[in-house]
Amino acid sequence: MADKWGRRLFTAGAVFLVLLGLVHGLSFFEKPIAHNETETQLFDLAANYKFNVMGSMRTYDNFMRGFSISFMLACLVLGTLGLALRGERPALLKTVALITAAWLAAMTAVSLRYFFVFPTTCLVIGLVIFVLSWIKLPGEARVG
């Protein structure tokens, strides 16, 4: 019975990560709206002021967009991997659930320091699902 709930939670966590990646991707379709002159200047500098990073001219916006795309891809890849593996043996799912939970725990720690409540809440939800999956999935039977 624990295997059944563990698989369900693992699958739910994988679906949640794919959805999280897709929702995060929506942010790439809309430009931020400046509410005052200071924000207008800030957005202009972030998008247009280039500085030398090891011989490559980049803007602050380049870094932010790149890290944001990396997070989206990580969610999509881990979620898709979970969906692809959901029918495998429980011990493998338990290991993948633990690795995914560790990644989500690290991301939650970063989010608590640098982000706001919505992304932190999403990361905590994913973390809880994968931790519960890890708890419910049986481990490898040891002989001898």
Give residue-wise pLDDT tens across range 23-53.
Answer: 999 989 988 899 999 999 999 999 999 999 9
Report the distance separating Cα 28 and Cα 53, nearest Å.
24
Looking at the domain assignment, is residue 7 inside a domain? yes
Within 10 A of 11 (CB to CB), how many other CB atoms are there?
A: 18
141: in domain? no
Q: Is 38 within a domain? A: no
CA dihedral over 98, 130, 19, 24, signed as positive or negative: negative
Where does residue 62 rank: exposed (0-12), middle (13-18), buried (19+ CB within 10 A)?
middle
Mean pLDDT along residues 79-97: 96
- Looking at residue 54, what is its pLDDT? 94
More confident residue, 3 or 95: 95
In a domain, 109, yes or no: yes
Q: Is the pLDDT of residue 93 over 90?
A: yes
Q: Quote the tokens at residue 79.
A: 């979620």
Range of the domain at 27: 2-31+65-136
pLDDT of 83 over the 70 cut: yes
Domain count, the chain: 1
Amino acid at 114: Y
Q: Is 82 helix (H, G, I), strand (E, B) or coil?
A: helix
60, part of any domain:
no
Average pLDDT of the residues in 64-91 = 96
Q: Is the pLDDT of residue 3 over 90?
A: no
**CA 15/CA 80 separation, integer angstroms:** 8
Q: Which helix (H) or strand (E) holds 64?
A: helix 60-85
- State yes or no: pLDDT of 142 exceeds 90: no
Do residues 83 and 98 make contact, with C-beta atoms less than 8 angstroms apart?
Answer: no
Instruction: Provide mean pLDDT across the span 100-104.
Output: 98
CA separation for the pair 42, 34 (Å, rounded): 9
Please check whether residue 102 lies inside any domain of the structure.
Answer: yes
Alpha-carbon span 138 to 73, nearest angstrom: 29
- pLDDT greater than 60 at residue 144: no
Establish if 116 belongs to a structural domain.
yes
In a domain, 22, yes or no: yes
Distance between CA atoms of 132 and 144, rounded to whole angstroms?
A: 28
